[in-house]
Amino acid sequence: MKIGCPKEIKPQEFRVGMTPNAAREAISHGHEVYMEKNAGTGAGFADADYTAVGAKILDTAAEVFAKADMIVKVKEPQAVERKMLREGQILFTYLHLAPDPDQTHDLIKSGATCIAYETVTDRNGGLPLLAPMSEVAGRLAPQVGAWTLQKANGGRGVLLGGVPGVSPAKVLVIGGGVVGTHAAKIAAGMGADVTVLDRSIPRLRYLDDVFGGTFKNAYANEGNTIELARQADMIIGAVLIPGAAAPKLISKAQLKELKPGAALVDVAIDQGGCFETSKATTHQDPIYEVDGIMHYCVANMPGAVARTSTLALGNATMPFMLALADKGWKKACADDVHLLNGLNVHAGKLTYAAVGQALNLPTVNAADVLK
């Protein structure tokens, strides 16, 4: 199969869909890999890193789209990229179609077979191509929160780990899933006094069994949330209710009860945010203040560490990319229901029910298009 990887064109996106190591494995499986010139630069991969493993470099995205049987990307295709898709071509990338009718209509019109990273599943009910980005955002959260807490940035002027004779900062993590667990591990590793809140008792049991000595946990009712928030130097928002907007767990009125200069890091901002006063920010201008409380609400946190994120995403996507290339999309999806769950659009038809419901469009059963 001819696999093409264009340079990402969404603003502030520095990741790339294929690492040189992914290209190497695809080539060793007998496939051809075509990279757009400078596609990997933002993630620290030079064109020479790709040619060294046998990939070919093309000057423009148009050439990559024209050549490839399968396009492997990171972000959803932008309007200009969607025009270059064609019938029978495979697109393997994040799509996030439910809130995006324009993209959905364009992909249906293209006739391409579009497999979305974010709906591929695993046998534990998880989302294996979303989890690496949650791991990155979670591990980054205490790091950016620690910076936000510095005096020059408007914070309380508190060092996360304290020093001998001075107590460490108190960090409250709301939501103990992938983001929250990784955030808590790193904050505890930096020496902070960490508590994680969650509404799922099985999850609290897991956190207690595995991390009982590293950080504390508590049930996320309103009373516990505000009591722990009042004591916290940093609060990390990491909740998720799948398919729904994030619940608002700290109101504007409650900001007055927090410590002046406390840092709120709202990782759940991509689902609307879990603090009432959260609004999405960018890496250029990441923080702002409301009622004396500093807010960090960057919607694409993994972009800050594009190289780590690219490598983590590449590890997770590679087995699926190889299956699609080795077997063709139909057999790969027939052999693996979890990859089939990623199928969102095929040959002019929507194949993912939740997207159809969100956009009021007809869908066909993904399994039926395999027949």
Active site residues per annotation: 96, 270
Closer to ligand NAD at the Cβ: 175 or 261?
Answer: 175
Shortest distance, position 312 Cβ to ligand NAD, whole Å:
11
Asked whether the beta carbons of 146 and 168 are under 8 A apart, the reply is: no
Shortest distance, position 94 Cβ to ligand NAD, whole Å:
11
Closer to ligand NAD at the Cβ: 68 or 187?
Answer: 187
Shortest distance, position 19 Cβ to ligand NAD, whole Å:
20
Closer to ligand NAD at the Cβ: 110 or 308?
Answer: 308
Q: Which residues bind ligand NAD (CB under 6 A)?
A: 133-134, 137, 174-180, 197-200, 203, 220, 238-241, 246-247, 267-271, 299-302
- Closest to 265 (Cα-Cα) out of 200, 175, 204: 175
Closer to ligand NAD at the Cβ: 254 or 351?
Answer: 254
- Closest to 26 (Cα-Cα) out of 260, 324, 279: 324
Q: How many CA atoms lie within 13 A of 141 on its CB side?
A: 37
The CA distance from 46 to 284, in Å, is 25
DSSP character at residue 363: B
Tokens 């495979």 map to which residue? 90
The CA distance from 335 to 80, in Å, is 33
Shortest distance, position 238 Cβ to ligand NAD, whole Å:
5
Cα 112 to Cα 70, 286, 302, 370, distances in angstroms: 10, 37, 28, 15
- Closest to 17 (Cα-Cα) out of 65, 87, 80: 65
Q: Beta 56-58 vs 113-116: how paired, if at all?
A: unpaired
Residue, CB closest to ligand NAD: 177
Asked whether the beta carbons of 161 and 187 are under 8 A apart, the reply is: no
Shortest distance, position 177 Cβ to ligand NAD, whole Å:
2
DSSP character at residue 163: B
Shortest distance, position 316 Cβ to ligand NAD, whole Å:
13
Residues in the chain: 371
Per-residue DSSP letters for 83-98?
Answer: TT--TT-EEEE----T
Furthest-apart CA atoms within the chain: distance in Å: 69
The residue type of 168 is P
Closer to ligand NAD at the Cβ: 299 or 318?
Answer: 299
The CA distance from 1 to 73, in Å, is 16
Shortest distance, position 260 Cβ to ligand NAD, whole Å:
25
DSSP character at residue 41: G
Closer to ligand NAD at the Cβ: 40 or 302?
Answer: 302
Closer to ligand NAD at the Cβ: 28 or 219?
Answer: 219
